[in-house]
Amino acid sequence: MILAIDAGNTHIVLGCLDGERLRFTARLSTDRKKTADEYALMFRNLFDLHQVDRGEVEGAILASVVSELTEALRAAAEIVTHRAPIVVGAGIKTGVNIKIDDPGQLGADLVVGAVAATAKYEKPMVIFDLGTADTMSVIDADGRFLGGAIMAGPRVSVDALSTGTSQLPHIDLDLPAKVIGTNTVAAMQSGAIYGHAAMVDGLVDRVEAELGKPMATVVATGGLAGVVIPQCRRKIAVDDDLMLQGLRLIYEKNRA
């Protein structure tokens, strides 16, 4: 059994996996001010809450896009499991053939998502991770990571509107009843949710046109996938556990 931690800009998702089976999963708010001891206490409490014996944990793995938190989370995982975790980064075996200009620039989250998706779904594929930032990764039929796109996520987009204009309010990302909003809040929600759904559909169209072939799989994960993807016109799989399963696979490739 292992502890897998995926640290994003807004949330930290962690889970305890016994093989492919998730014993529990949890979502914590990303707090850059918390110390290793504070995160360790939170992790320990989650084990207790879900009645999982920490003594059964053989190791841990961490992927983080929040550089200032990586060390605190690494130390917290070691405190809880009594084992130094694997940290996804340079020198870690992933099995992904990265074909971008500088493979060292590829974020840990994109690597983890690619590992999981290529192991589970038919290629070629497009992978979306919808959260604070929206990311798109393109994998060809031979499993090569070709590149992708990075966009502001729905929450960032509406917050930018609220702070950058004098008359637009801060809103919740609830699904509006229709695309044509009849008040300011509904219009902003429509732009954030239906607009991002149209963007996802449109990006896949352009990827297929650029590569000259249809995608066998389009899969999405991330905190906002469950809101945005049902509004898409394409068939897109939502896989909430994609990152945790990817971490498990990378752990298995790198355990001593």
CA distance 226 to 76: 30
State how far the Cα of 97 lies from the Cα of 85, in Å rounded to an integer.
24
Spatial separation of the C-alpha atoms in residues 131 and 114, rounded to whole Å? 17
| Residue 191: partners with Cβ closer than 8 Å, 6 or more residues away | 157, 158, 181
24 and 46 Cβ atoms separated by less than 8 Å: yes
Measure the CA–CA gap between 195 and 201, rounded to whole angstroms.
Answer: 10
How far from the centroid of its chain's Cα atoms is residue 4's Cα? Answer: 13
List phi, psi (to 5°) of 112.
Answer: -65, -45
Annotated active-site residue in 6, 109, 134, 239: 109
> For this structure, is 102 an active site residue?
no
Which residues are annotated as catalytic?
Answer: 109
